[in-house]
């Protein structure tokens, strides 16, 4: 059954613009305008008040959209149930993920999932937290792999893993000069007084969710005033710049593990109780978890628990790496001579 008229009207209502809705629906603006005009003629009422910008719904339009969403939701649930009837021999799954997390996770998760369920068509959508949460709410993503927190009341989730957020300090930084770093590791971070962070240079993430939100909480709690701040959208870039002495940053255990042992900064806490963040698989609240969705979440959990790529390096491994860490000292000598 063709439910295009419902999707078209709902999208125009959400975007409050026919031109923006046309882009979202991958069709031309004249074609969408013509379709809306024809629909209003057929049903005998105006759905949109186009005399103002942004356009708004009439009372009839509000009722149409309210019922259209119910119809589209029923159709969505029915489609997922029909996919299950086929025993996962065919289906489609759209997964949203932030770019940095996707770089670490997807190369190990997707081969396992495709091997087990070759008939499931996978679509990957990358972007910022806010962009992806918006797509999830609009039913354009089935599953969103992300870090806490979740702000939308329309989103539910399952926890995947928990990782500590650490203060990354270059080994040549005054904050750790004179300290014995030989035993420093993920299992043995160094305590650093938060008051000493006042007036320091930082490399911070520019978006507003996840780790940046945690950092904002820390800065507010201890009234930390930064000196120079360099912003980047990529946590890997922030980590590498911090290691090379451009400033301090906050990063997850995942960053440390991914670049170990090539980049070995001082790993610090500013409180005895560590700051931790959950990684989650998010989906629309009350949504029907199809077999492809359930299998994908279970595959992610399995890979994170057992894949060698996600091996959390032990204290002894860090100690041995620090003993052999000559690259950093060689780099320091080189850059000082420039």
State the average pLDDT over residues 153-170.
Answer: 93
Q: What is the pLDDT of residues 86-128, one digit of tens each?
A: 667 778 899 999 877 888 899 999 999 999 998 899 999 998 8
pLDDT at 1 over 60: no
pLDDT tens per residue across span 63-94: 999 999 999 888 888 877 777 666 677 788 99
Q: Is the pTM of this model over 0.85?
A: no
* Distance (Å) of CA 211 to CA 37, 151, 167, 253: 47, 14, 11, 12
Given a cut of 90, is residue 241 above it in pLDDT?
yes
Residue 80 or 164, more confident:
164
DSSP 202-248: EEEE-SSSSHHHHHHHHHHHHT---S-EEEES-HHHHHHHHHTTS-B
Instruction: Please count the residues of the chain.
Output: 338
The predicted pLDDT at position 82 comes to 73
User: What is the pLDDT at residue 209?
Assistant: 65
- Residue 335 binned pLDDT confidence (cut-offs 50, 70, 90): low
pLDDT over 70 for what percent of the chain?
93
pLDDT at residue 127 in the model: 86
Query: What is the per-residue pLDDT for 255?
Result: 85
Residue 286, token pair as written in the block:
């009350």
The mean pLDDT value of the chain amounts to 88
Q: Two tokens at 262?
A: 């090539």
SS3 call for 157: strand
Share of the chain above pLDDT 90, in %: 55
pLDDT at residue 190 in the model = 93
Tell me, what's the pLDDT at 334?
Answer: 62
pLDDT at residue number 331: 64
Query: What domains appear along the chain, each with residue ranges and CATH number?
Result: 4-84 (1.10.10.10), 89-161+278-310 (3.40.190.10), 162-277+313-336 (3.40.190.290)
Cα dihedral 66, 68, 70, 73 sign: negative
Distance CA(178)–CA(183), nearest Å, equals 14
> Mean per-residue pLDDT for 158-163?
93
Write the DSSP string, 9-45: HHHHHHHT-HHHHHHHTTS-HHHHHHHHHHHHHHHTS
Sign of CA dihedral 160, 86, 108, 149: negative
Q: What is the pLDDT of residue 21?
A: 93
| Residue corresponding to tokens 């029907």 | 288
């Amino acid at each position: 059954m063709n439910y295009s008229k419902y999707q078209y009207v709902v999208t125009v209502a959400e975007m409050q613009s026919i031109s923006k809705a046309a882009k979202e629906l991958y069709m031309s603006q004249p074609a969408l305008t013509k379709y809306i005009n024809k629909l209003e003629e057929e049903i005998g009422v105006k759905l949109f008040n186009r005399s103002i910008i942004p356009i708004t719904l009439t009372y009839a339009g509000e009722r149409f959209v309210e019922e259209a969403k119910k119809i589209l939701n029923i159709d969505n649930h029915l489609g997922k149930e029909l996919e299950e009837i086929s025993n996962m021999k065919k289906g489609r799954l759209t997964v949203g993920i932030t770019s940095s997390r996707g770089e670490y996770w997807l190369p190990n998760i997707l081969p396992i999932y495709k091997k087990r369920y070759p008939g499931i068509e996978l679509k990957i959508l990358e972007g910022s937290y806010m962009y992806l949460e918006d797509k999830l709410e609009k039913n354009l993503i089935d599953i969103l792999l992300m870090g806490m927190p979740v702000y939308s009341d329309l989103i539910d989730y399952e926890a995947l893993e928990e990782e500590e957020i650490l203060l990354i300090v270059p080994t040549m930084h005054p904050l750790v000069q004179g300290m014995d770093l030989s035993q420093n590791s993920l299992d043995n971070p160094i305590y650093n007084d938060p008051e000493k962070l006042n007036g320091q240079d930082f490399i911070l993430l520019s978006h507003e969710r996840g780790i940046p939100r945690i950092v904002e909480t820390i800065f507010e709690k201890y009234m930390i005033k930064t000196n120079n701040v360099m912003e980047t959208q990529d946590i890997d870039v922030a980590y590498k710049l911090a290691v090379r002495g451009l400033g301090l940053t906050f990063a997850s255990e995942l960053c440390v593990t991914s670049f170990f042992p090539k980049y070995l900064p001082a790993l610090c806490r500013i409180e005895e109780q560590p700051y931790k963040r959950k990684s989650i698989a998010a989906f629309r609240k009350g949504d029907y978890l199809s077999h492809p969705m359930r299998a994908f979440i279970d595959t992610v959990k399995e890979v994170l628990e057992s894949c060698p790529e996600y091996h959390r390096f032990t204290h002894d491994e860090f100690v041995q790496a620090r003993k052999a860490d000559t690259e950093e000292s060689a780099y320091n000598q080189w850059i000082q001579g420039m």
